[in-house]
A and B are shown apart, each in its own frame.
Chain A
Amino acid sequence: MLILNSIHSSYDGKTVLEDLNLSLDACQLHGLMGSNGAGKTTLLNILYGRKSIDSGTVTWNQESLSNEKIGYLKTDPYFYSSITGREYLEIFRLKNPDFDIDKWNTIFELPLDELVETYSSGMKKKLALLGILCPDREIMMLDEPFNNLDMETNQLLGNILKELTGKGKTIILTSHVLESLTRWCDHIHVLGSGRILRSFAKGEFNEIESFLFDQKNKLLIENVKELLK
């Protein structure tokens, strides 16, 4: 289980995460939901060790979390120029030489011997996903993985993620689109005002929409009150 306890994080003096507590069961698909700027990417960057925290602890199976355990797919992964898809993946294979690129590519159907510059954004996302699959990490974090994907690739990605949880991976993905999360996730955690507002299990997904609506209304009323002061 991945446990985040009392995480505080700020950026340029502005609080981004405040007393954030979250427990994520292993081998499940977790969705992080929140409006733009809610702190989803910040949270992933903290877990990946790319962002500092002011206080708090993170443990994985009751031990401190190791960098080696996480694979992270950014929203817009960067690709080195004039490199083919295969060459991009070969570097990840250094960590797991048994990873059969061609076998995996029967699912992804990427033109691996073409330069990455010639790929569409959906193909690039698939390539980046293959990259994080290759080192065989226990936890996989995907930031807005469904952005810019066509219906078919969306379906493929969702199915692959489901399969991976069946094979012992714990997956955290973010989205600001509710439908893409309710379709694939086992749990959805709503992030707002720098903390987890509420976590929903699969059977409770039908309550999310009204919860979000209430939250929005609450925020609106608070804003109006603030204006009328």
Chain B
Amino acid sequence: MLLVVIGGSMLDPLSSFPMTVLVISVIHISRDDSGFLKDLQFSPRLLYLAEYALISLPGLALILLNRQWYFAGFLPVFILLVSMSPSGLGVHKSSSSFSFHLSPTAYEWTSGIRKWGMGMLFIYLITFIVGFFIPELIIAGLLILTSYLCYFYTECEPAVWIKIQNRTPATFLNHKLLQILSYYIPLVLPLIIQFTILKPGWILIGAVSLIVGSSTIFTAMLAKYSLYDEGRNLQLPVAVIAGLGFAGWILPLIPGILSILLVISLYYRANLKLNRYLYAYSQFYS
């Protein structure tokens, strides 16, 4: 959040407010913990208010630094309104099974779109529309969409689904990498094109964002298979490792080298893990 807001503000001081608003909106529509909080006898709205106030502090600081007094006044009102509104609109409800056709092996995407598709659509549309007025927001929106896509790769599928595909661990991982590119690029390309048209001089930033985004999802996917254990949900470790993969691109010294090394090492580890998990005990098999 801090990185997105600061990065956006460096590109354009006017974007601090819309980026802070976008990030808070994304968190609010993606959360489905209100029932849980009620069970614990917490008031979800008060907790949301406190959380959003804390999260928006860096954004508010930048708004004040840029002397945008109008936005500084409106941000607390926005936070108050969002906290009081229903949460989890972008999270799927168990009864919804709207169908769409993706490859049977792209179960992460099928499941992920059902869970977070509405939230992603909302971000996509907001990014696309507001992007015409503040083009820097397109890159922030793209990064937020990418972080959603990393969450697609947190649940360890049944081992039999991997076995049934009849691939070696290496060809299985290669297939997954290509699958990410085949879905990710068409998804974000319209945003990259929009950004390039609106900011023709910044074409390199658009191209780099595409590379950073793909590499971050690769990191998430490979992190899952390097820690693979059937039925486990690896939300936290995958989020941390993917975050490191993303951070590697914004380090001032040799940007990207750490992320690329992370992808390579995770690929190696995932290969070993799948080999051990799927084939090591096949002592009778020729």
Contacts and interface: CB of A to CB of B under 8 A. Distances in A.
A90 interface: yes
Interface size class of A (residues with CB under 8 A): 35 or more
Contacts of B35: none
A49 B284 contact: yes
Given A94-B104, A117-B94, A49 B283 contact: yes
Contacts of B283: 49, 52-53
A66 B286 contact: yes
A25 interface: no
A81 B284 contact: no
A80 B107 contact: yes
Given A79-B158, A95-B166, A64 B107 contact: no
A58 B284 contact: yes
A113 interface: yes
A211 B92 CA distance: 54
Contact of B97 (A66, A67, A94, A114): A114
A50 B285 CA distance: 12
B82 to A, nearest CB: 26
A113 B114 CA distance: 13
B110 interface: yes
A115 B111 CA distance: 10
Contacts of A117: 94
A64 B285 contact: yes
Interface residues of B, number: 33
B41 interface: no
Contacts of A91: 104-105, 107, 161, 164-165
Contacts of B155: 80-81
Contact of A94 (B99, B158, B165): B165
- Main SS class of interface, B: loop
A87 interface: yes
A115 B115 CA distance: 12
Contacts of A77: 158
A49 B97 contact: no
B146 to A, nearest CB: 20
A34 interface: no
A94 B175 CA distance: 15
A82 B108 CA distance: 9
Contacts of A53: 283
Given A83-B110, A94-B105, A65 B97 contact: no
A83 B164 contact: no
A95 B164 contact: yes
A118 interface: yes
Given A80-B158, A84-B99, A93 B282 contact: no
B67 interface: no
Given A50-B281, A64-B284, A113-B97, A78 B231 contact: yes
Interface in A84-120: 84, 87, 90-95, 113-115, 117-118
Contacts of B231: 78
A65 B111 CA distance: 35
Given A91-B107, A113-B97, A118-B94, A82 B114 contact: yes
A81 B111 contact: yes
Q: Which of A63, A80, A117 has the most CB of B within 10 A?
A: A80
Interface in B148-185: 155, 157-158, 160-161, 163-166
A65 B105 CA distance: 27
Contacts of A87: 104, 107, 110
B85 interface: no
B104 A78 contact: no
A202 interface: no
Contacts of A95: 164, 166
A39 interface: no
A87 B110 CA distance: 9
A66 B285 contact: yes
B33 interface: no
B219 to A, nearest CB: 21
B23 to A, nearest CB: 25
A135 interface: yes
Contacts of B95: 115, 118
A79 B157 CA distance: 8
Closest 9 CB pairs of A and B: A49-B282, A90-B104, A82-B111, A78-B231, A82-B114, A65-B284, A58-B284, A115-B97, A52-B281
Interface of A: 47, 49-53, 57-59, 63-67, 72, 77-84, 87, 90-95, 113-115, 117-118, 131, 135
